[in-house]
Amino acid sequence: MPTWFAVLAVVLATLAVVNHFLLPALRWMARRSVNKAILDVNRRFDLKLPLFQLTKRQVLIDRLVYDPEVLETVARIASERGVTRDGVMAEVVSFAREIVPSFNPYIYFNLGYRVARRFLRYFYHVRVGWVHDEALKDLPPASSVVFFINHRSNLDYLLVTYLASRRAALSYGAGEWARVWPFRVLLRLAGAYILRRNLDDPVYRVVLRRYVQMATAAGVPHAIFSEGALSRNGMVNAPKLGLLSYVCRDFDPAGDADIVFVPVGTNFDRVVEQRTLIANADTDYRGRGAGFVLGSTIVFVCRQVWHKLTRQRQGFGMAAANFGEPLSLRDWSKRKDVSLASLEQDQLFAAVGALGDELHNRIVDTIPVLPVPLLAMVLLTTTEPMTRDELRREALQELQDLRGKGAHPGILEGSEDAAIVDGIDLMRRLGLITINGRDKVEPHADERDLLQYHANSMIQLSASLGPVS
């Protein structure tokens, strides 16, 4: 027998074994893990996994590509551009493949949850300051839930996913940075859909809108960052209305299903991107390209590994999220005497703007009170230098005042004094403050912008809540 024939026979036999035995076994094991994860989720969680999230990705892509509204837009755009329908349909397929996620319950609730928990706990003391439990438990079964969140840090993705994981598998809209490998693959497996915020293409917009509407109608819990981009001044800024209008556009208050918005406020003692944000206040650094996003991530990870190896790692303080009182879109529509599904485009945008403003105010009222933002506010609103003990007492008094106004601190009751002391030590390590020989605490001359960034969240919260009740 010729040697080449023997080698070919061995290769073909190996491929046959792999194709008929090994691959089916691996697929069976993967399906078994996913099914086990689904059963576990349905036993433990308040919000069950919608069938939409368990549908094969290719089926969802086909449903989106051949959606009647998408096909109508394809015909119109082809006529306007003077091109064939096939050419526009190729764009639709490309956009659909980019947008539609490939949600994997095992990845989300096992690997993703554990990674988020360990990553966050490695750097922060993670807290849930407040959850409006009664309202969340009373949600009608047919409700579509939308978590409306301020965007403090890119770690908001991990923080809210981790803290909300016992209630829902959240579907995020991730920006252009998420198109970078390997983020693209991981986020799709976690149920995120990719957005091109600055692409003003009518074909892309209708594909994105129809996907969001299909997922909402199917009861997929959404998570929308109200500001669309990271806050560069530390405040909760005016909401972007694009995704919000997609969610609400076809809502009929007389229908069977409701849409319920849950305002979520997040805050951090140290925001990982804080120096980049205040140094590039007018630059969308996430839009600089794949190289910048991937390079920044690698540099951050390498720095933290080095700190770990040299035993220099020190925590970033606290990270917290509050889940506020839900807002029913049906109740809001009745209160405003408006049916969004029947409005013209200009009227719809105005109505969604009013809804966005109300949700924005609810987010501001739920922002957690944390030591560093609180101390920054006290330092910048006091004219005379204070000793460490005076600063501690002033911060504790301000904390009490905010609690009296209805704020929800991320600091556990009974541990306020220790938390404020730890906050002062953290600010000193980060170089935000100086302490002279007489124990007087002063803002560092070169860090006033960063202190103002942290203080703004508390200043905005205090102003929104009004006088002490």
pLDDT in tens, 384-406: 889 999 999 999 999 999 999 99
Is the pLDDT confidence value at 28 over 80?
no
β-bridge pairing 171-174 and 222-225 = parallel
Higher-pLDDT residue of 312 and 224 is 224
Residue 276 in this model has a pLDDT that exceeds 90:
no
Q: Is 5's pLDDT higher than 80?
A: no
Any idea what the Cα angle at residue 299 is, between residues 297 and 300, rounded to 5°? 65
Comparing 168 with 419, the larger pLDDT belongs to 419
Q: What is the pLDDT of residue 21?
A: 62
What pLDDT does residue 464 have? 95
The pLDDT confidence band at residue 167, using thresholds 50, 70 and 90, is confident
- Position 266 pLDDT exceeds 60: yes
Top pLDDT among 265 and 311 is at 265
Q: Tens digit of pLDDT for each residue in 140-166?
A: 667 889 999 999 998 898 899 888 877
CATH class of 371-465: mainly alpha
pLDDT for 356 beyond 90: yes
Phi-psi region of 153 (alpha: psi -120 to 50; beta: other; left: phi over 0): beta
Lowest mean pLDDT among 9-23, 139-153, 410-424: 9-23
b/e burial code for range 356-367 (CB count within 10 A of at least 16 → b):
bebbbebbbbbb
Amino acid at 441: V
How far apart, in Å, are the Cα atoms of 34 and each of 30, 108, 148, 348?
Answer: 6, 10, 28, 41
Of 59-63, 233-237, 298-302, the poorest mean pLDDT is in 298-302
Reply yes or no on whether the pLDDT at 225 is more than 60: yes
Domain boundaries, the chain: 96-366, 371-465
Pairing outcome for strands 222-225 and 193-194: unpaired
Query: Residue length, the chain?
Result: 469
> How distant, in Å, are the alpha carbons of 165, 178, 293 from that of 43?
13, 32, 38
Average pLDDT over residues 362-373: 97
Q: Once rounded to an integer, what is the mean pLDDT over residues 172-184?
A: 77
DSSP, res 18: I
User: Is 322 in contact with 408 (CB distance < 8 Å)?
Assistant: yes
> What is the residue-averaged pLDDT of the chain?
85
Q: What are the Cα distances from residue 95, in Å, to 7, 24, 53, 89, 391?
A: 44, 31, 19, 10, 54
Q: Average pLDDT in the 411-433 region?
A: 93
pLDDT digits (tens, 9 = 90+) for 370-380: 999 999 999 99
What confidence score (pLDDT) does residue 360 get? 97
pLDDT of residue 163: 86
Cα–Cα distance, 282 to 321 (Å, whole number)? 27
The predicted pLDDT at position 469 comes to 60
Least confident of 205-219, 229-243, 276-290, 305-319: 276-290
So what's the pLDDT on residue 396?
Answer: 96
Reported confidence tier of residue 105, pLDDT bands at 50, 70, 90: confident
CATH code at 96-366: 3.40.1130
What is the predicted pLDDT for the residue at 296?
62
What is the structure's pLDDT at 453? Answer: 96
pLDDT score for 63: 96
How many percent of the chain have pLDDT more than 70? 83
Confidence at 254, pLDDT banded by 50, 70, 90: confident
3-state SS, residue 182: coil
Question: 3-state class of 392 per DSSP?
Answer: helix
Reported as a pLDDT band with limits 50, 70 and 90, residue 281 is low
Q: Which of 14-23, 339-348, 414-423 has the lowest mean pLDDT?
A: 14-23
Tell me: pLDDT of 382 over 80.
yes
Please tell me the distance from the alpha carbon of residue 430 to that of residue 419, in angstroms, as a whole number.
Answer: 16
pLDDT tens figures, 39-48: 565 565 555 6
pLDDT in tens, 299-335: 766 766 666 666 665 689 999 999 999 999 999 999 9
Q: Give the residues across from 369 on adjacent strands.
A: 409
Q: Do domains 96-366 and 371-465 have the same CATH topology?
A: no
Report which of residues 21 and 251 the model is more confident about. 251
